[in-house]
Amino acid sequence: MYGNIAKKLVKSLALVAFMASTCFAFSEGSDYVTLKKPIPNAKNTLIKVFSYDCPFCYKYDKQVTPKVVPRLPADLQFRPFHLKTKGKYGPQGSELFAVLLVRDQKNGLKDKDLYSEKSLLKKAKMAYYNAYHDKKERWDAGPDAYLQTGLNAVGMTRAEFDKEKNDPKVKALLKEWDASYEVAKIQGVPAFVVNGKYLIMTKSITSVDSMLQLINELKSK
Amino acid sequence: MKPTEMFNTFKAAPIQTIAGWQDKRFLWILMAAVSLFMVILAHSVFQIWLYMRPCEQCVYIRFAFFCMAFGGIIAAIYPKNIGLKLVGYALAFWGTIQGIGYSLKLNKIHEAAHSDNPFGVQGCNPEPTFPFHLPLDKWFPEWFKPTGDCGYDNPIIPDGVVLSNLQKTITDFYQDGWYLWPPSHFMNMAQACLITFGICLLVLAVAAACWLLTLWRKHKTHEVSPHNYSTQAR
């Protein structure tokens, strides 16, 4: 009789193991959603939508994204998008970040170097995170005070910035970044989008490895 | 009725007594008052006076308290009316259950935001989606537009604002965010809301159960009585 029970137990355990292995694959709705309005020209990219005014973006930029980006597949380009609609100085932040990203590119930084110490974008971003979230700075003096924080962090003058923000490359980047809003309003920021089509559900990310696994799967979908 | 008398009637027939209570206005008004007190405290004291900004989950929690307040007010119009009472119960139950969900979610976000493990939660969305797609944040932005971030409720004082001594003392007290006892970070806002909703749910469940039980008993005696009549008539 006990042998019978043991057999049943083994059978049901085997069944559970089988179900678990087939259910392991990521599923739409809980791990990711397909965007109704895909981001144009985003084949082979991982887009990260972020805002300086978002504590989880800060958390991710400290603990997650710097570990994920260098390990991305070679044929997947990493592209940061700043969300201009969040935060009082969202538009100013976007302009400065776009200027600095173009400068990083001119300095020969590849997309996967954007978390290296050489990146101006990273320097300014961290300066804003630190001021806003750690020091509770709100720049009530106005947009100029806001800009100064980022300019100081990268050692850029206001005149240089004012000139470079009219660069057609910067303008084009800002225009592309406008797609951020439609993505951000689905589940907030940070938001990660693979191939401009698949938005990762941030709450289902359990580790750096699981995030990379999901990105890899969505990439070849 | 004297308190001792009240206690004796309660002891003699607890279920009927509780069922009797929810036919009176007192409990309904109490529930509405507690809910309104919580929302007004959050809005007028913490948000306006102490510059602590509401987050996405916080405005949902306000919505849940408003549901309970409306339920209480509607039932209190005439608690003996079964229709009004049902509307009151429906709104109140729905509010507490939703509120518990929002509080649990906020607590999870709060823990993640204050730890080194940001996984497993989603931060706040500045674009709230209320039940039934009610555009409450557009209609009443002062009350329902999230301006803060989930897990962070520290007072943020705009430049140029001169605080009174009292305001200064209290905002300093809450500088690490809202806690029931800030110096030791004891019980965050989400946990405090969870307990409030939990107590409301418990009270509601007991009241509703006693009411249904008495209704069912009455129904049973009614079912028996016609038979008795007929035997008597014979």
**pLDDT tier for residue A25 given thresholds of 50, 70 and 90:** confident
Quote the pLDDT of residue B231: 46
**pLDDT tier for residue A64 given thresholds of 50, 70 and 90:** very high
Quote the pLDDT of residue A72: 96
Q: For A87, left (φ over 0), alpha (ψ -120 to 50), or beta? A: left
Once rounded to an integer, what is the mean pLDDT over residues A28-46? 94
Quote the pLDDT of residue B221: 84
Domain assignment of residue A210, yes or no:
yes
Whether residue A163 contacts residue A170, with contact meaning beta carbons closer than 8 Å, is answered with no
Quote the pLDDT of residue A2: 62
Quote the pLDDT of residue B8: 87
- Give the residue on A whose Cα is nearest the Cα of B155: A136
Once rounded to an integer, what is the mean pLDDT over residues A47-74? 95
Average pLDDT of every residue of chain A: 91
Instruction: Read off the pLDDT of residues A114-124 as tens digits, 9 standing for 90 and up.
Output: 999 999 999 99
Name the strand (E) or helix (H) holding B95.
Answer: helix B82-113
Residue B25 has phi, psi (to 5 degrees) of: -75, -30
Quote the pLDDT of residue A126: 97
Whether residue B209 contacts residue B201, with contact meaning beta carbons closer than 8 Å, is answered with no
pLDDT of A22 above 60:
no
Taking CB atoms and an 8 Å limit, are B118 and A56 in contact across chains? yes
With beta carbons under 8 A apart, name residues in chain A contacting B156. Answer: 136, 138
Q: What is the largest CA-CA distance in chain B?
A: 91
Quote the pLDDT of residue B3: 79
For residue A48, what is the DSSP state?
E
Number of domains within chain A:
1
Q: How far is B121 from chain A (nearest CA, A)?
A: 4
Interface of A with B (CB under 8 A): 53-57, 59-60, 63-64, 85-86, 133, 136, 138, 140-141, 184-185, 187-190, 201-203, 205-207
Instruction: Read off the pLDDT of residues B15-30 as tens digits, 9 standing for 90 and up.
Output: 988 888 889 999 999 9
Domain limits for position A54? 28-219
Q: Which amino acid is at A40?
A: P
- Give the residue on B whose Cα is nearest the Cα of A142: B159
Give the whole-angstrom CA distance, residue B232 versus residue B44: 67
Instruction: Read off the pLDDT of residues A138-166 as tens digits, 9 standing for 90 and up.
Output: 999 999 999 999 999 999 999 999 999 99
Whether residue B136 contacts residue B142, with contact meaning beta carbons closer than 8 Å, is answered with no
Q: How far apart are the first and last CA of chain B?
A: 44
Q: Which residues contact A12 (CB under 8 A, 6 or more apart)?
A: none
Instruction: Read off the pLDDT of residues A66-105 as tens digits, 9 standing for 90 and up.
Output: 999 999 999 999 999 999 999 999 999 999 999 999 999 9
Quote the pLDDT of residue A29: 87
Taking CB atoms and an 8 Å limit, are A188 and B156 in contact across chains? no
Higher pLDDT among residues A166 and A24, named by residue:
A166
Whether residue A73 contacts residue A41, with contact meaning beta carbons closer than 8 Å, is answered with no
Mean pLDDT by 10 residues, chain B (234 residues): 82 89 92 96 97 95 97 96 96 97 96 90 87 96 92 90 96 95 95 96 94 90 61 46
CB-nearest partner of B122 from A57, A136, A188: A188
Higher pLDDT among residues B100 and A7, named by residue:
B100
Quote the pLDDT of residue B62: 97
Domain assignment of residue A13, yes or no:
no
User: Which CATH number belongs to the domain containing residue A128 in this structure?
Assistant: 3.40.30.10
Domain assignment of residue A9, yes or no:
no
Domain assignment of residue A127, yes or no:
yes
Among residues B98, B117, B99, B104, the alpha carbon closest in space to that of B150 is found at: B104
Question: In the block, which residue shows the tokens 């069944």?
Answer: A15
Q: How far apart are the first and last CA of chain A?
A: 50
CB-nearest partner of B151 from A55, A64, A184: A55
Domain assignment of residue A208, yes or no:
yes
User: ipTM greater than 0.90, yes or no?
Assistant: no
Give the whole-angstrom CA distance, residue B100 versus residue A156: 49
Four-residue CA torsion sign, A59, A64, A66, A72: negative
Taking CB atoms and an 8 Å limit, are A136 and B124 in contact across chains? no
CB-nearest partner of A206 from B116, B119, B123: B119
Quote the pLDDT of residue B233: 45
**pLDDT tier for residue A221 given thresholds of 50, 70 and 90:** confident
Domain assignment of residue A136, yes or no:
yes
